[in-house]
Chain A
Amino acid sequence: AQTVTQSQPEMSVQEAETVTLSCTYDTSENNYYLFWYKQPPSRQMILVIRQEAYKQQNATENRFSVNFQKAAKSFSLKISDSQLGDTAMYFCASQTGNQFYFGTGTSLTVIP
C-alpha cells in the first residue's frame, strides 16, 4: 500500500502572496500518478493538478504548480497570487492502478 503524508494541518497566506503546501509519499511502484485536490467549504472535491511520475517536468495549471522531487518522494503544491477563493482543504493523493491514497489534508486560509 502507498502512504501519503501532509505534515501541515493548517496554513494561512495573505491575499496575493505565494504559499507552498507540502506532501510526501511512499510507494514501491514505478508507475504512479500524483494529485492535488481542493475541498472548499461546499465540500465538493475539485481536481487542482495532476502529475505523472514518469514525467520530470513539473505540472502547472495557471496559478498552481508543483515541485515534484521523485527521488525524495516529495510533491509540493505552490499557489501563486493567492485569492480568497483558494481558501479550502487541500488533499494530496497518489494513484497506482485503480487505487487512490489520500493524505490527511491541509487547511489553507487566505487572509484578505
Chain B
Amino acid sequence: GAVVSQHPSWVICKSGTSVKIECRSLDFQATTMFWYRQFPKQSLMLMATSNEGSKATYEQGVEKDKFLINHASLTLSTLTVTSAHPEDSSFYICSATQSTGPDEKLFFGSGTQLSVL
C-alpha cells in the first residue's frame, strides 16, 4: 500500500513554544490530507481537512489560529501547534487519500506524540 511518512514521532516542548509536524506522501500524490487528534483509548477526532493549494477546512471547535495547517504541495502537509499548552498534549495523526473515485483509500502516518511541559 501507499506510504505516508509523519515526523517527528515524538516531541516534548515547553509551554508557549510552537511545534511543527510534517506529513508526507512518499509514493503518491495526495490531493487531500486529514489531521486527527487521538486521546488515549479513544477514537480519532478529525481536526481539519487539507486540500493542496487551498485553505484547510477546520472542524467545529478546532481553533484554526492555534492549529495552523499548510498543504503547499501534493506530497506535504504540515500542522503547527502554536503557543502550545499542556492541554494540547496528545497523539496527532495525519492521513492522505491516494486517489479519488471508486478506488479511494485512506492511508495513515505513524502519528506524533506531543507532550507539552
Contacts and interface: CB of A to CB of B under 8 A. Distances in A.
Interface of A: 33, 35, 37, 42-47, 50, 52, 89, 91, 93, 95, 98-100, 102-105, 107
A44 B108 contact: yes
A50 B1 CA distance: 13
B42 A47 contact: no
B44 A98 contact: no
Contacts of B38: 43
Contacts, number: 48
Contact of A43 (B34, B49, B107, B111): B111
Nearest to B45: A102
B43 A35 contact: no
Given A47-B1, A50-B105, A104-B43, A98 B111 contact: no
Interface residues of B, number: 23
Nearest to A31: B102
Main secondary structure of the interface of B (DSSP, over half): strand
B111 to A, nearest CB: 5
A55 B44 CA distance: 27
A44 B49 contact: no
B42 A105 contact: yes
B3 to A, nearest CB: 11
B98 to A, nearest CB: 11
Contact of B44 (A46, A52, A99, A102): A102
Given A45-B108, A98-B97, A100-B34, A105 B43 contact: yes
A98 B107 contact: no
A102 B95 contact: no
6 contacts: A33-B104, A47-B105, A47-B106, A91-B44, A98-B32, A107-B41
